[in-house]
Each structure stands twice: as C-alpha cells, then as structure tokens.
Amino acid sequence: MTPEDLTHLRRARDLMDREYASPLNVPAMARAALMSPSHFARQFRAAYGETPYGYLMTRRIERAKALLRKGDLSVTEVCMAVGCTSLGSFSARFTELVGEPPSVYRARTHDAVAVVPGCHAQRMTRPSRFREARAASRS
C-alpha cells in the first residue's frame, strides 16, 4: 500500500469520524478516498483491520454511549441521533460491541467515568469488537 493510498483512506476515515450521523455507504466513502468501492473496502480492511462499515458502526456506538450516559434521550432517540435507522440493528450491534443492551447501559450509573479526564474516558469507553481488547480494558 502506498503512502498516497493511506492518505486517501484517512480522508474517508475522517469523513466517517465527522459525518457518522449521516447516511454513509461504501460507495460514498470510496468516493472520498478516490477509489472504487471494492478496492476501497479491501484497502481499508488491510490498513485498519476492519471493514469500513464496521469502523463506522464503532464510531456510531461510541457516540451513542456518550449520549446514553447523559440520560436525557431515549434509546430510540439516540439510535436516530447517531445515524442508525433500525432500532433492532442498532441494539444488536450495541450489545455485540459493548456487552449489554443500550437500555441496560443507559440505566446503570456512570459516575466512575464522570471523574476521569475526557481523554482517558474515551479510551475506557471505546467499543471494541475484539474480545481480548474488551477483556484487557476491564481488568
């Protein structure tokens, strides 16, 4: 992979980070990276270790966790606020990445995260699809 390819992939990743609540699909992300959709998907996975859609959903779940911790929105409102259109798919992905359903996550206290500096709280609460990463962060 060339440095130019990585620059283009970062452009698409930055788009996902900024516009996570927008309806993004692989062709739109590929356009941002100046690649064909299939080439973009292969290159993104090779560079970042997950599919573009997986990365986007991780960003959405990360933002959803922050909104749920605040507690002023319902799970459905949070689902729509982060760009998901299906509550069932959102709940399933949230449960897969976080380890508990969004309603349970919202209901429990998050006081421990409130006293932690933001940069550390982000690292502690970042969803991960890799089980060993989740296990290490809990111990």
Tens of pLDDT along 90-108? Answer: 999 999 999 999 999 988 8
Placement of tokens 């798919």 in the chain: 89
Burial class (CB in 10 A: 0-12, 13-18, 19+), 128: middle
Q: Global pTM?
A: 0.76
pLDDT tens, position by position, 8-54: 999 999 999 999 999 999 999 999 999 999 999 999 999 999 999 99
- Cβ atoms 78, 89 nearer than 8 A: no
In sequence order, the 6+-apart residues with CB closer than 8 A to the CB of 12 are 29, 30, 32, 33, 40, 44, 52
